[in-house]
Amino acid sequence: MTDLALRVSAAYRDAFGEPPALVSVGPGRANIIGEHTDYHGGFVLPFAVDRAVVAALGPASGATFDLRSLDFEGSFAGSLPTAESPLPIVKDWTGYAAGILNELALQGKRPGGVRAVIAGDVPIGSGMSSSAAFEVALLQGLDALFELGLTRWQLVTTAQACENRWFGVRSGLMDQFASVFGVEGSALFLDNASRAWRAVPLGADLDWVVIDSGVARRLAASGYNTRRAEGEAALARLVPAGLARERLSDVAPADLERATALLTPVEARRTRHVVEENQRVLAAIGALAAGRHDWLGRLLDASHASLRDLYEVSVPQLDVLVELLCGLPGALGARLMGAGFGGSVIAVGSPGFAARVPTIEAAYTARTGHRFVPHPARPARGAYIAR
């Protein structure tokens, strides 16, 4: 087991006087390219990272739960919910736990009494999806402990429903998918419309870094849901015209000009980003297969420009950070990663690039008033049980 898993297991023993029955690991994720496309049925190219949330679990008597967080030094205990009497949601770590338990109750998959200790090394608010890692770690652990019979896709969709139904964030499948399905050394190409996916080897000659900009963002309180609604408004205009069927990603690149002519200026910008970003995902896979890392970097740069100008989810600090990163020796490309409105940037470079990232912090702070935190990211395996 990893050092984190051993620490969480020891904390469980200290809290409950016996070892856990199992330890569940849910990794965070980074997304190479394909941003704000997943909930429009488009393409994404994420990978699971070598940072995770770990849950040590064991049975408890009765229909009760007792969950404890080492990261927040708190506990969450009570009676297990039913479909008719869900747990209330507080917008903190306990809310994610309550959402998972509520979703299982809605599915008629009520676990037995459970005790758990949970901690992670996915930086919270970094854009590496600590929330999905938490959801997957807890849900996978409950599934394994009580033999609930969830498939990998059911792990993904149940964890996603926690965000959608209980937190009001209309997110797609990507975060939970990457956490569950991750393949060591590879990215994952996912077609969100069909759920077809495949591993895309990344090779060892690239340095991936996720940089927390120091600018906080809140998904539900930001324009995230607004952007999704704008895309849906565009879709409502395009379906009667025969330019889309069910999703904004249905718009063919050859039909883009015809499509945008039917839309408001805002809807046209959102639609152009989605259609062109899907093509950048396919191009990125081609660049990786051909070993054209310079081409891959240019695609990340183009993605950032589109997210800034067409989808309008960047902020000045992220633009400065991308500019400075792209000026480093060995840099290939960089772009904002995640919902935007603050948060993180993903950058890629040749070997040694990650070690150079801290050298631009002084320039970044001088121009923005913020400090950043770099997190080198290695493509890692997906969720698993460590007994």
pLDDT of residue 222: 60
On whether the CB atoms of residues 280 and 303 are closer than 8 A, the answer is yes
Please report, for the domain that includes residue 249, its CATH number.
3.30.70.890
Q: Nearest-CA neighbor of 181 among 224, 115, 132? A: 132
Residues 130, 16 share a domain = yes
State mean pLDDT over 103-120. 96
Helix axis angle, 130-146 to 93-106, nearest 10°: 40
Lowest-pLDDT range of 122-136, 306-320, 323-337: 122-136
Residues 85, 97 share a domain = yes
Residues 262, 225 share a domain = yes
pLDDT of 384 higher than 90: yes
pLDDT of residue 141: 98
Q: What is the largest CA-CA distance in the chain?
A: 67
pLDDT of 334 higher than 70: yes
pLDDT of residue 352: 97
Please report, for the domain that includes residue 88, its CATH number.
3.30.230.10
pLDDT band at 309 (very low <50, low <70, confident <90, very high): very high
pLDDT of residue 325: 98
State mean pLDDT over 168-190. 94
Q: Is 212 a catalytic residue?
A: no
Copy the structure tokens of residue 137: 């770690």
pLDDT of 127 higher than 90: no
Copy the structure tokens of residue 12: 């469980």
Residues 46, 86 share a domain = yes
Residues 107, 29 share a domain = yes
Residues 43-87: tens digit of each pLDDT: 999 999 999 999 999 999 999 999 999 999 789 999 999 999 999
pLDDT of residue 220: 43
Residues 207, 189 share a domain = no
Residues 274, 185 share a domain = no
pLDDT of residue 221: 52
pTM (two decimals): 0.95
pLDDT band at 168 (very low <50, low <70, confident <90, very high): confident
Residues 209, 196 share a domain = no
* Active-site annotation holder among 38, 143, 175, 212: 175
Domain hosting residue 320, numbered range: 203-376
Residues 195-242: tens digit of each pLDDT: 999 999 998 899 999 999 999 876 545 688 899 999 999 999 999 999
Residues 49, 7 share a domain = yes
Number of domains comprising the chain: 2
Instruction: Give me the chain's average pLDDT, please.
Output: 95
Write the single-letter amino acid at 280: R
pLDDT of residue 218: 60
pLDDT band at 263 (very low <50, low <70, confident <90, very high): very high
pLDDT of residue 167: 83
pLDDT of 349 higher than 60: yes
**Separation of alpha carbons 26 and 24, rounded Å:** 7
| The Cα angle at residue 360 between residues 357 and 366, in degrees rounded to 5 | 150
